[in-house]
Amino acid sequence: MMSNRACSFAAYGILGLPLAMAALPIYILVPIYYTTQLGLSLSLVGFVLFAARAVDTIQDPWIGQWINHLARRSRLGHALWLACVILIITFAGLWLTTLSGLALAAWLALSLIIIYTAHSVLNIAYLAWGARLATDTATLTRAAGWREGFGLAGVILASTLPAWLVNTAGTTSRQGMAVYSALFAM
């Protein structure tokens, strides 16, 4: 039986799992999926990934300031729920698009920017939450351990589950990623 303190660390740590489940497929599967399944050129997909990441890099400091502002006013919860919903919907849309050509490239760019923004809101708030939990170094270390443990579980799921779902007999890549998106949303 876990103690109340261990339960609170586990409750904190569990968000690391879906955050990792969203991040890894973007870096590993988007280039493969968008080139082999949806027909974009690898150079175009690479450019879109780079541009979306550049936008994310520029916006992160402002997101951090916004998160601090919301936290000081005790309004962070609503923003986090909204970021979760946006991340879930856009992540599914990333894999389930029916567009092609330049419209597909534009959709990829828009989806990635929205996903990166929602992920950043969640991740920055999550790391700030961990810092607020800690009253000493040992508590901070324990909270980080739970977060990283669940994050590692998310990385393992994200690196194995999509491949298994896509390669299951009788399913298309699109169906496999639809199932993965649904599991991610849970």
- Contact of 44 with 105, CB cutoff 8 Å: yes
Looking at residue 131, its pLDDT comes to 79
Looking at residue 167, its pLDDT comes to 86
> Sign of the CA dihedral 26, 57, 72, 146?
positive
Looking at residue 1, its pLDDT comes to 59
Looking at residue 72, its pLDDT comes to 85
- Scan for tokens 């590993």, then name that residue: 28
CB burial readout 103-117, b (16+ within 10 A) else e: ebbebbbebbbbbbb
Between 171 and 17, the more confident residue is: 17
pTM: 0.90
Find the distance separating the first CA and the last CA of the chain, reported in whole Å: 25
| pLDDT tens, residue by residue, 99-123 | 999 999 999 999 999 999 999 999 9
| pLDDT tens, residue by residue, 136-156 | 888 888 888 999 999 999 999
